[in-house]
Amino acid sequence: MEQRKVGNCLGKTAGITLVALVVTIIVLLILAGVSINLVAR
């Protein structure tokens, strides 16, 4: 039982980190696109 709990905790943290990475990448891409559009104008 203890090993399963540890595995679940590791899985949850890994999933959260993956989601956080994807969200940060999307935000950076959006900010980059907006800044490029402002500079292009």
Whole-model pTM: value is 0.58
Query: What count of other Cβ atoms lies within 10 Å of the Cβ of residue 19?
Result: 10
Instruction: Give the pLDDT confidence score for residue 33 in this predicted structure.
Output: 96
Residue type, 4: R
Q: Please state, in angstroms and rounded to a whole number, the distance separating the CA atoms of residues 2 and 11.
A: 14
Rg (C-alpha) for the chain, rounded Å, is: 18
Instruction: Give the pLDDT confidence score for residue 16 in this predicted structure.
Output: 73
pLDDT tens digits, one per residue of 3-36: 556 556 666 666 678 889 999 999 999 999 999 9
